[in-house]
Structure 1
Amino acid sequence: MVDEHHVSRVRACMAVGLPRSALYKPTTDRAGKDTPVIEAINAVLHKRPRWGFWKCFDLLRRDGHVWNHKRVYRVYCAMRLNLKRKVRRRALTRERQPLLASTQLNRVWALDFMRDTLYDGRVFRTLNVIDEGNREALRIECGTSIPSARVVRVMNQLIEVYGKPEAIRLGQC
């Protein structure tokens, strides 16, 4: 451009959008220098194709390669090995139904779980079943673990004693 159009080097660099220092910088052959990195990455990812960059880099380090993580990441990205992040799916939003203000007994029960810790650090949980009509605690079940089978057993026992409610409200939902 300088020789053909008789333009100064400063104007030629401004027209192309390059800094003037780029004229004097020697060209480097990165592809030749990066071939050992490419081969090592391919060797690691041939065994474990779903490994991300950091697992791959850690294994390269354990194998004795002392390449900088920025260099390895540049080569990794140039090889288009970036894995897409897993997108977490949101739970569907549902319409909230208005709370039933019940004054009758055994119409609506509230089911709630609570947890606390003992002085020695152990965690215990409680399952509270409350009648919404008179705020009476129908059952408080305690234990270090309350599996679903135990919840079903407690609810069946309460239904035998008090009868079946019209609705059950859960605390964590």
Structure 2
Amino acid sequence: MTNSKKRHTPEQVVRKLGQADRMLADGGDVASVCRELGVSEQTYYRWRSQYGGLKAEDAKRLKELVKQNATLKRLLAEAELAKAALKELAGGKLLGPGRRRAAIAHLIRTLMVSERMACRLAGLSRSAYRRPLQGDTTADPDSALRDWLRAYAKKHPRWGYRRAYYDACGEGWTVNHKKIQRLWRDEGLRVPQRRRRKRVGSSTVEAPAATEPNMVWAVDFQFDADEQGRAIKICSIIDEHTRECVGGLVERSISADRLTGHLEDLVAARGAPAVLRSENGPEFISDAIADWAGTRTGLFYIQPGTPWNNGYIESFNSRLRDECLNINSFYSLLHARVVITDWKTEYNHDRPHSSLGYLTPAEYARQRTNQMENDDIHNDWT
């Protein structure tokens, strides 16, 4: 018969210590008490130092607290390890199974975490992580279909995967369109897209520095929408020297003919500018604008993709957007016309401009015009 060492629970130890206290109170000594309890004196003193003064309920509660403390320590360690693992994966989103597998292998190799924890942090099941990839196997089950797709794309270079799917089904391949699309993409058989060349306007003059009023006008479009979601197209025209908004349109759409008609009205009232500066939009580079300009004014088109070369009108558009369009909701086209026109009137006559010495554009234009007239009179006398 084997003699196994008996382990006592905390409740049993506290009960035995209580029995020992009663025996010692009756006049017994420690040696006889230990013989009665069936433990050695070293065990008795160890119990006394560890559980002395505790009741059975207290000992049970202490055991539970020790167990909870160990659990909390383990959870804290796992949380810190998970935090360190997430920092390792902070370089980008794990968008595909391939990147998730690489992340799991990196965590296992770097942080020595378990496979279970690495898969949980990377968001991939362990079965998917352990499953071998078809590309890693020696025999690709889709090699014949890949060869057929390459030959098909070589024969029909302008056809896409959709036609390839129907022809593959017609030739007896049992496959769905999603697999054809995936293999088509893997083989790099995408149909090249012909990019449409953007037309660039032909400038008739070089844009001079706007040193006088009515020398350079800048024109540009911006868009908004009413409460029904219908588009509102806004055309603004400013004098680059005086910063004055000399004209503009608010319509659902603005054609080149509509724009030339408005420019004709402005020229009749204010005179033609030396240069009209604009971007390369279809309305500006149209034949209608070129025919209208004729001998009236020169046309200067900025380079495509360089809005900073038309900075004055871009600055005006940003103020119009910030101070008017973003704080108003238009319930109709007429409402938009009234609000935008009132804002442009306030901009010209009431809003000081820092680059004009905090004069309004209209006041600066008036002073500059008077100064130029006085200079002309003085030159005539001399």
Q: TM-score range by the shorter chain?
A: 0.5 to 0.7
Question: Deviation of residue 92 (structure 1)?
Answer: 9.4
Per the alignment, residue 13 of structure 1 pairs with none
Residues 62 and 104 (structure 1), Cα distance of their counterparts in 2 relative to 1, 3 Å cut: farther
Residues 150 and 62 (structure 1), Cα distance of their counterparts in 2 relative to 1, 3 Å cut: farther
Checking the alignment, whether the CA contact within 8 Å between 2:165 and 2:180 is kept in structure 1 is: no
Per the alignment, residue 112 of structure 1 pairs with 220
> Which of 245, 251, 260 is matched with 1:137 structurally?
245
> Which of 163, 179, 192 is matched with 1:56 structurally?
163
Q: 5+ unaligned residues in a row in structure 1: which ranges?
A: 1-21
Checking the alignment, whether the CA contact within 8 Å between 1:110 and 1:171 is kept in structure 2 is: no
Q: Distance in 2 between matches of 1:123 and 1:163?
A: 32
Q: Distance in 2 between matches of 1:91 and 1:141?
A: 26
Checking the alignment, whether the CA contact within 8 Å between 1:102 and 1:133 is kept in structure 2 is: yes
Counterpart secondary structure, 1:150 = helix
Residue 192 of structure 2 aligns to which amino acid in structure 1?
R
Checking the alignment, whether the CA contact within 8 Å between 1:113 and 1:171 is kept in structure 2 is: no
> Which of 77, 88, 95 is matched with 2:195 structurally?
88
Question: Deviation of residue 126 (structure 1)?
Answer: 0.8
Question: Deviation of residue 133 (structure 1)?
Answer: 2.1
Residues 107 and 50 (structure 1), Cα distance of their counterparts in 2 relative to 1, 3 Å cut: same
Q: Distance in 2 between matches of 1:158 and 1:71?
A: 57
Question: Deviation of residue 116 (structure 1)?
Answer: 0.8
Residues 113 and 66 (structure 1), Cα distance of their counterparts in 2 relative to 1, 3 Å cut: same
Question: Who wins on radius of gyration, i.e. which is larger?
Answer: 2
Checking the alignment, whether the CA contact within 8 Å between 2:234 and 2:250 is kept in structure 1 is: yes
Checking the alignment, whether the CA contact within 8 Å between 1:103 and 1:134 is kept in structure 2 is: no
Residue 115 of structure 1 aligns to which amino acid in structure 2?
F
Per the alignment, residue 121 of structure 1 pairs with 229
Q: 5+ unaligned residues in a row in structure 2: which ranges?
A: 1-137, 201-205, 281-301, 303-382
Residues 166 and 127 (structure 1), Cα distance of their counterparts in 2 relative to 1, 3 Å cut: same
Residues 58 and 154 (structure 1), Cα distance of their counterparts in 2 relative to 1, 3 Å cut: farther
Question: Deviation of residue 101 (structure 1)?
Answer: 3.9
Question: Deviation of residue 154 (structure 1)?
Answer: 1.2
Q: Distance in 2 between matches of 1:88 and 1:59?
A: 28
Residue 195 of structure 2 aligns to which amino acid in structure 1?
R
What are the Cα deviations for residues 4-56 of structure 1, in whole angstroms up to 9, with x where unaligned? xxxxxxxxxxxxxxxxxx8xx9xx9x87xx6xx96xx97xxx9x873212x22
Checking the alignment, whether the CA contact within 8 Å between 2:157 and 2:191 is kept in structure 1 is: no
- How many pairs align? 132
Q: Distance in 2 between matches of 1:71 and 1:122?
A: 38
Checking the alignment, whether the CA contact within 8 Å between 1:130 and 1:139 is kept in structure 2 is: yes
Residue 170 of structure 1 aligns to which amino acid in structure 2?
S
Pairwise CA RMSD: 4.7
Please state which structure has a larger fraction of its residues in strand. Answer: 1
Per the alignment, residue 19 of structure 1 pairs with none
Q: Distance in 1 between matches of 2:256 and 2:279?
A: 15
Question: Deviation of residue 90 (structure 1)?
Answer: 6.5
Checking the alignment, whether the CA contact within 8 Å between 1:57 and 1:72 is kept in structure 2 is: no
Please state which structure has a larger fraction of its residues in helix. Answer: 2
Residues 135 and 62 (structure 1), Cα distance of their counterparts in 2 relative to 1, 3 Å cut: farther
Relative to the length of structure 1, the TM-score reads 0.53
Residues 136 and 87 (structure 1), Cα distance of their counterparts in 2 relative to 1, 3 Å cut: same
Relative to the length of structure 2, the TM-score reads 0.27
Checking the alignment, whether the CA contact within 8 Å between 2:235 and 2:250 is kept in structure 1 is: yes
RCO comparison, higher one (Cα < 8 Å, 6+): 1
